[in-house]
Amino acid sequence: MREDAGVAELLTALVDGTGRPVSVDGTTLTAPELLGAAAALGAPLAGRARVAVHATPTMDTVVAVVGALLAGATVVPVPPDSGAAELRHLLGDSAPECWLGAAPPDPHGIEHLPVDLAARASYTPAGVAEDAPAFVLYTSGTTGLPKGVLLPRSALAAGLDGLADAWTWTAEDVLAHGLPLFHVHGLVLGVLGPLRTGSGLVHTGRPTPERYADAARAGATLFFGVPTVWSRLVEAPEHAAALREARLLVSGSAALPVPVFERLRQLTGHDPVERYGMSETLITVATRADGVRQAGWVGVPITGVETRLRDEDGAPVPHDGESVGSLEVRGPTLFDGYLNRAEATAEVWTEDGWFRTGDVACIAPDGRHRIVGRASVDLIKSGGYRIGAGEIESTLLGHPAVAECAVVGAPDEDLGQRIVAYVVPRSDVADEDALGAELTAWVGAELSAHKRPREVRFVASLPRNEMGKVQKKRLA
Complete domains list, the chain, with CATH: 3-206 (3.40.50.12780), 275-374 (2.30.38.10), 379-475 (3.30.300.30)
Residues 238, 208: contact at Cβ < 8 Å?
no
Sheet holding 273-278, edge to edge: 27-29, 22-24, 200-203, 174-177, 222-225, 248-251, 273-278, 282-286, 300-301
**Considering only CA atoms, which of 56, 54, 79, 86 is closest in space to residue 68?**
54
CA dihedral 224, 226, 231, 236 (to 10 degrees): -30
Amino acid, res. 156: L
DSSP percent split of the chain into helix, strand, coil, nearest 5: 30, 30, 40
Residues 398, 446: contact at Cβ < 8 Å?
yes
Mean pLDDT of 61-88: 92
Of all residues in the chain, the percent with pLDDT exceeding 90 is 73
pTM greater than the 0.75 cutoff: yes
Query: How many other C-beta atoms are found inside a 10 Å radius of the C-beta of residue 26?
Result: 10
Residues 108, 46: contact at Cβ < 8 Å?
no
Between 274 and 466, the more confident residue is 274
Mean pLDDT of 317-332: 94
Residue 343 has pLDDT above 80, yes or no: yes
pLDDT tens for residues 107-151?
678 999 999 999 999 999 988 999 999 999 998 655 567 899 999
Q: Report in angstroms the alpha-carbon separations of 342 from 155, 339, 345, 348.
A: 20, 8, 5, 11
Q: CB neighbours of 447 closer than 8 A, spacing ≥ 6?
A: 391, 392, 395
Give pLDDT, residue 4: 41
CA–CA distance, 23 with 94 (Å, rounded to integer): 30
